[in-house]
Structure 1
Amino acid sequence: MRSVHVTRGRLLRGLTALVVATAAVGATAGPAAAEGDPGWVSGWLGDVTVGGPGAPGRTVPLNLSSTGATEPRVTIDLAGLTGVATASFPDWCVTGGTSVTCPMPPTAVDENGTLTGVVPVVFRAAPGAADGASGTLDYTASGEQTEAYAQQATITVRSGPGLLDMVDENVSGVEVGDTRQVPVAVVNAGDQPAVDLRLTMRFAVGLVPASYRNCRYGTDQVLATVVVCTVRGTFAPGQRHELRGGLATTVGPATLGGKRITQIVEPLADAGPLPSGVRLRHREADQALRLRPVGKPLGVIPVGVDGAGGQTYLHDVRGAFDVVAQGATVTGAVGDTVHVTVGLRNEGPGVPDGTNSGDTVGAFLFTPPTGVTVLANPLGCGRTGGEDGEPLTRTWHCTGRGAVFPAGTSNTVTFDLRIDSLAGAAGEVQPSGRYPRVDDNPGNDIAPVTVS
């Protein structure tokens, strides 16, 4: 990589990726555009924080995108970083003074006519840069005859320890009963050692982590296991530390669908408040969780390692579960008001979990028998339809009770019905969606509701 010196700047927060939509590779034309249409090119580089002089370099993605443009590229003006930071670019970029021009990367990917590529930029504090110094980097994405948009990122120097989490794993083929070794890895991107750290992990419902004597465990409102560990040691600048062998995690019978395991690392002296609403307790354990140094100190932090948080994602665990519709049968005379309680029950063992999407689970649809009138809207329920001038239907939608639908629990609602006629057809209740898939006994997903 070619290194270019740059100017002054101001305080900036965590290194983040830049998303530049991609275009054509090198000096070649991009995807075909309509005649007379020059296409477009866009780019994104987020603000960056680097450690003080002597800290490892930080690799940040400058993302480029392009559709239909000829010779898409990004031009970076480094004059605003003088005395604050240096920036290094790939060999296929061209430097002239304090200006650098990078064409669409040769590794750009074409998806449906849009090129997307990443220009990795390595930032370091300039020699003698003071704590808190910051400068600006101006960049413009353009193509031949396209409209150019100037943008700016701030580069800030921050002295002190800078712990980053290095885990970003996606795992497929996981089954109930498996034990997975979840990686835990951190690196100090600052210019000073970190003494002791706090590791906070969250295991989605169904996942059971191993016990360590220097950790405390609790359960949050969506049945996830929260683990807070105090890890002693000195974490030198650039040094990668890992939990050897990973953290053993059992995939229990409640596990269902996609599951996320998150982890956050913080210097113990500067750690924030403990997770709220969770009662943490020690467990009996023979071992302590320790992070060991691995390999030589890194001179450059790789792209994608840009924050204190990391994750392991388990794709589509096909756990067993059975959600049962709960109907009702009531009797009465014409003119009477009767009460029917309908809904769903999760017989388990799997637990539908909407925490990844932010949705509630356990919602259902209720269609009353013909010949009755619903007298009021129960809380959380409303008639479907009525959009874009369409009439309201006879079906009611009732929301779920939360982000998880625990095994052995029900989501039910009581409706007040006035009997207008006893000759009507039966109604029914059923799930409003099969989440995260059709369950293992779909034959009991619909139940009748009758009034006689």
Structure 2
Amino acid sequence: MRSVHVTRGRLLRGLTALVVTAAGVGATAAPAVAVDDPGWVSGWLGDLTVGGPAAPARTVPLTLTSTGATQPRVSIDLAGLAGVATASFPDWCVTEATSVTCPMPADAVDDFGTLTGTVPVVFRAAPGAVDGATGTLDYTALGEQTEAYAQQATVTVRSGPDLLDMVDTYVTGVEVGDTLAVPVAVVNAGDQPAVDLRLTMRFPVGLVPISYRNCRYGTDQVLATVAVCTVRGTFAPGQRHELRGGLATTVGPATLGSKRITQFVEPLASAGPLPSGVKLKSRDADQALRLRAVGAPLGVIPVEASGAGGQTYLREVQGAFDIAAQGATVAGAVGDTVRVTVGLRNEGPGVPDATNSGGGVGALLFTLPAGVTVLSSPSGCWPAGSEDEGGDAPATWYCNGPGPVFPAGTSYTAAFDLRIDSLPGTPGEIQPAERYPRVDDNPGNDVAPVTVS
């Protein structure tokens, strides 16, 4: 996508004001006049692919965002799509020849003064458009007196099957022990049937999917269950297919916090490589996973079906867990070097899981005992004390955790070599750096002493 900056007359007005000010040197100074902030408006429409003329139309979101602007809107020029694709807009947009103007949608969301709205645009290949044809759509987001930015999206016509996932679901109130019916739904947005497909699903740690005989299962490096299923059948253009009753998934005792179940569909004939780092094996099962046609073929694919991937998001599962601090006691004389090993242990059953955010879990804080100096520290640990601490204040070290997940029944430890400078000293302590995803069920063991005597 290319972006072209469109200048406005504000520079000219500013130069004029400068000349007037210079001419008035020596005269009585007048108070400065504040210039009102006109705000800003931005738009986004990604490059897209549509099927050939026999394919259903695709609905694509044009996102409009504005802060403090008057009459935020987007102006679209369709001339570059001639002979390649057509685009239609909601009836609250104004069309003149190949130009369309859409105001900020009435249902735009106001998030602390920033409006965000979606203009659904329906694209369809033009009659006679050939495989590989490309066109462009130019659009400019603007408001009264704002800077305007002209942008361009490329529309490509591609013949063949084009499977899209139709699942984007948020679920609340889930508890350990529940069985969920995870939806699975796909549609072919291409102009040719897809014969057989591959469905790849990933269930984060704690979630246990039912077994099917046409699927293979494995566990990835963050303890998620990966299922790769070969689903037989012919998936016609525009036809929605679903797994009847959903995919039964048990919320096991390791489930803790928010979870995202992902799914990805692709024609079997053109499927990419299997998930790396996962050993897939078949399981004994009495049934096969089958997707069945639902309803009449769609003439227009809805905006929710935006790609081959989908998700079911579980919000804040309140599973039980206990993170226990592991302190230490060592002895030595002044001048000795002693090794102190501190850590945290996940007593379970819940498994802290930060794979949604891409962060880590199980980080710890180690406050040194008084009268010692750190001679060596593990990798992933560094001083974390405040600059305002006095010279006699005990130093605190921060250590990264074991990674995105902290398995139940495991410990994360860090070994420090300390020189004893004086005895006796006030004990130090070890504790979690954060209470993630919440304070655990036994906070009484969250802090443990570290003593050098």
Check whether TM > 0.5.
Answer: yes
**Residue 299 of structure 2 is aligned to residue 303 of structure 1:** no
Letter in 2 for 1:402: G
Counting only pairs closer than 5 Å after superposition, residues 370-389 of structure 1 correspond to structure 2 as 370-385=370-385
SS at match of 1:375: strand
**How far off is 1:334 after superposition?**
1.6
**How far off is 1:37 after superposition?**
3.0
SS at match of 2:80: helix
Cα 1:110/1:387, change in 2 over 3 Å: same
1:337–1:419 CA contact under 8 A, matched in 2:
yes
Corresponding residue number in structure 2 for 1:109 = 109
Corresponding residue number in structure 1 for 2:446 = 445
Where structure 1 has 5 or more consecutive residues not aligned to the other structure, the ranges are 1-11, 13-33
1:183–1:246 CA contact under 8 A, matched in 2:
yes
**Residue 91 of structure 2 is aligned to residue 88 of structure 1:** no
Corresponding residue number in structure 2 for 1:26 = none
Letter in 2 for 1:350: G
Letter in 2 for 1:406: P
Corresponding residue number in structure 2 for 1:224 = 224
Cα 1:188/1:287, change in 2 over 3 Å: same
Range with greater deviation from structure 2 (222-231 or 108-117) = 108-117
- Following the alignment from structure 1 to structure 2, what is the Cα–Cα distance between the partners of residues 134 and 348? 55
- Following the alignment from structure 1 to structure 2, what is the Cα–Cα distance between the partners of residues 232 and 117? 39
Q: 1:12-52 deviations in whole A, cap 9, x for unaligned?
A: 9xxxxxxxxxxxxxxxxxxxxx9633332221111111000
- Following the alignment from structure 1 to structure 2, what is the Cα–Cα distance between the partners of residues 435 and 398? 15
Corresponding residue number in structure 1 for 2:172 = 172
1:384–1:393 CA contact under 8 A, matched in 2:
no
2:368–2:394 CA contact under 8 A, matched in 1:
no
- Following the alignment from structure 2 to structure 1, what is the Cα–Cα distance between the partners of residues 181 and 204? 15
- Following the alignment from structure 1 to structure 2, what is the Cα–Cα distance between the partners of residues 66 and 226? 40
- Following the alignment from structure 1 to structure 2, what is the Cα–Cα distance between the partners of residues 45 and 390? 54
Counting only pairs closer than 5 Å after superposition, residues 191-270 of structure 1 correspond to structure 2 as 191-270=191-270
- Following the alignment from structure 2 to structure 1, what is the Cα–Cα distance between the partners of residues 233 and 132? 27
2:205–2:255 CA contact under 8 A, matched in 1:
yes
- Following the alignment from structure 1 to structure 2, what is the Cα–Cα distance between the partners of residues 93 and 196? 40
2:364–2:401 CA contact under 8 A, matched in 1:
yes
1:382–1:397 CA contact under 8 A, matched in 2:
yes
**Residue 243 of structure 2 is aligned to residue 273 of structure 1:** no
2:40–2:146 CA contact under 8 A, matched in 1:
yes
Range with greater deviation from structure 2 (95-104 or 162-171) = 95-104
- Following the alignment from structure 1 to structure 2, what is the Cα–Cα distance between the partners of residues 51 and 110? 35
Corresponding residue number in structure 1 for 2:78 = 78
Corresponding residue number in structure 2 for 1:288 = 288
Return the TM-score normalized by structure 1.
Answer: 0.90
Counting only pairs closer than 5 Å after superposition, residues 74-153 of structure 1 correspond to structure 2 as 74-153=74-153
Range with greater deviation from structure 2 (410-419 or 139-148) = 139-148
SS at match of 2:277: coil
Corresponding residue number in structure 1 for 2:409 = 408
Corresponding residue number in structure 2 for 1:350 = 350
1:329–1:449 CA contact under 8 A, matched in 2:
yes
2:368–2:396 CA contact under 8 A, matched in 1:
yes
Q: 1:96-146 deviations in whole A, cap 9, x for unaligned?
A: 111111122222233322222211100000001010100000011122222
Corresponding residue number in structure 1 for 2:156 = 156
Q: 1:199-230 deviations in whole A, cap 9, x for unaligned?
A: 00000000000000000000011000000000
Corresponding residue number in structure 1 for 2:422 = 421
1:383–1:393 CA contact under 8 A, matched in 2:
no
Counting only pairs closer than 5 Å after superposition, residues 175-186 of structure 1 correspond to structure 2 as 175-186=175-186
SS at match of 1:230: strand
2:201–2:228 CA contact under 8 A, matched in 1:
yes
Letter in 1 for 2:110: D
**How far off is 1:67 after superposition?**
2.5
- Following the alignment from structure 2 to structure 1, what is the Cα–Cα distance between the partners of residues 322 and 89? 55
- Following the alignment from structure 1 to structure 2, what is the Cα–Cα distance between the partners of residues 431 and 121? 49
- Following the alignment from structure 2 to structure 1, what is the Cα–Cα distance between the partners of residues 72 and 382? 51
- Following the alignment from structure 2 to structure 1, what is the Cα–Cα distance between the partners of residues 144 and 399? 55
SS at match of 2:37: coil
**How far off is 1:377 after superposition?**
2.2
Letter in 2 for 1:50: V
**How far off is 1:147 after superposition?**
2.2
Range with greater deviation from structure 2 (59-68 or 156-165) = 59-68
Letter in 2 for 1:349: P
2:129–2:157 CA contact under 8 A, matched in 1:
yes
- Following the alignment from structure 2 to structure 1, what is the Cα–Cα distance between the partners of residues 312 and 382? 38
Cα 1:370/1:390, change in 2 over 3 Å: closer
**How far off is 1:388 after superposition?**
11
SS at match of 2:395: strand
- Following the alignment from structure 2 to structure 1, what is the Cα–Cα distance between the partners of residues 40 and 373? 57
Cα 1:291/1:123, change in 2 over 3 Å: same
Corresponding residue number in structure 1 for 2:434 = 433
Letter in 1 for 2:439: V
Corresponding residue number in structure 1 for 2:398 = 397
Return the TM-score normalized by structure 2.
Answer: 0.90
Q: 1:123-178 deviations in whole A, cap 9, x for unaligned?
A: 00000101010000001112222222111110110100000000001100000000
Cα 1:69/1:379, change in 2 over 3 Å: closer
- Following the alignment from structure 2 to structure 1, what is the Cα–Cα distance between the partners of residues 142 and 386? 46
Range with greater deviation from structure 2 (416-425 or 64-73) = 64-73
Range with greater deviation from structure 2 (189-198 or 325-334) = 325-334
Cα 1:94/1:442, change in 2 over 3 Å: same
Where structure 2 has 5 or more consecutive residues not aligned to the other structure, the ranges are 2-33
SS at match of 2:269: helix
Cα 1:150/1:390, change in 2 over 3 Å: farther
- Following the alignment from structure 2 to structure 1, what is the Cα–Cα distance between the partners of residues 388 and 332? 38
Query: Number of paired residues?
Result: 420
**How far off is 1:410 after superposition?**
0.4
2:370–2:394 CA contact under 8 A, matched in 1:
no
Q: 1:324-377 deviations in whole A, cap 9, x for unaligned?
A: 000011111222211111000000000011111111211101112111111112
